[in-house]
């Protein structure tokens, strides 16, 4: 019987991405614009998930590839089996955060990801100053790039106050529902 804590099980039964269909043609990796920057190429990542050997889940979840993926969908467009790797990457990022398997090299990307989501949660759209402040607070890079701020403000590239959507409560409700779904998962 398959282990329900296995990432492959969650991908198939919760997300609907059936990685066992992949026959390792490599087209996903060939089409990936960031494959060279990743520690594991998309096809190798899928292979690790397919083999289900001990330790592969933690190798996948602690890889930087899941955080570098742009979700540009070049991989799914090229895949003869239409395996939704971007959807899988979203799930893997969620699981890496939940299981606390994020490697140190990926920490700045995760900090940016968290700051971005927080900005959208509270304003309904991206608030650049809030995003940067959240990122700087999470990474302790407070003074990095501070010399760019005055020129960006004078050129009107940064708004001091956030632009908010009309009904921010709806956005907060979406985030709350997502968090509730995560809590209810049995993976």
H helices, E strands: number in the chain? 11, 0
For 82-104, what is each residue's pLDDT tens digit?
Answer: 999 999 999 999 899 888 888 88
Q: Which residues contact 62 (CB under 8 A, 6 or more apart)?
A: 96, 101, 102, 103
Q: Is the pLDDT of residue 186 over 60?
A: no
Write down all domains in the chain, each with its CATH number in brackets. 7-102 (1.10.1060.10), 106-184 (no CATH)
Mean pLDDT for all residues in the chain: 88
- Range of 4-8, 116-120, 180-184 with top mean pLDDT: 116-120
Phi/psi for 98 (5° steps) reads -65, -40
Q: What is the DSSP track for 84-98?
A: -HHHHHHHHHHHHHH
Print burial letters for 107-116: b (CB count within 10 Å at least 16), e (below 16).
Answer: eeebbbbebe
Q: Residue 61: which of 15, 108, 83, 94 has the closest Cα?
A: 94
**12-26, 64-78, 165-179: which has the minimum mean pLDDT?**
165-179
Task: Yes or no: say if 169 and 124 are a contact pair by the CB < 8 Å rule.
Answer: no
Using one digit for the tens of pLDDT, what is the confidence trace for 114-153? 899 888 888 888 888 888 889 999 998 888 888 888 888 8
**Which DSSP symbol is given to 14?**
I
Query: What does the pLDDT read at residue 187?
Result: 42
Residue 81 per-residue DSSP state: T
127 vs 158: CA distance, rounded Å: 9
The full DSSP string for 97-145 is HHHT---GGGHHHHHHHHHHHHHHHHHSS--HHHHHHHHHHHHT-TTTT
């Amino acid at each position: 019987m398959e282990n329900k804590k296995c990432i492959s099980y969650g991908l198939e039964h919760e997300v609907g991405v059936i990685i066992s269909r992949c026959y390792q043609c490599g087209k996903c990796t060939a089409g990936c614009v960031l494959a060279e920057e990743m520690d594991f190429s998309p096809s190798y990542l899928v292979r690790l998930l397919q083999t289900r050997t001990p330790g592969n889940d933690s190798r996948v979840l602690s890889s930087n590839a899941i955080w570098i993926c742009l979700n540009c969908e070049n991989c799914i467009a090229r895949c003869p089996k239409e395996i939704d790797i971007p959807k899988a990457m979203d799930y893997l990022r969620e699981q890496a955060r939940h299981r606390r398997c994020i490697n140190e090299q990926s920490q700045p990307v995760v900090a940016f990801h968290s700051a971005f989501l927080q900005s959208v949660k509270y304003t309904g759209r991206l608030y650049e100053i809030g995003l940067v402040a959240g990122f700087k607070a999470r990474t302790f890079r407070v003074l990095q790039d501070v010399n760019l701020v005055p020129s960006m403000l004078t050129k009107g590239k940064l708004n001091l106050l956030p632009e908010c959507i009309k009904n921010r409560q709806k956005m907060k409700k979406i985030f709350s529902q997502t968090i509730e779904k995560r809590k209810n998962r049995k993976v």
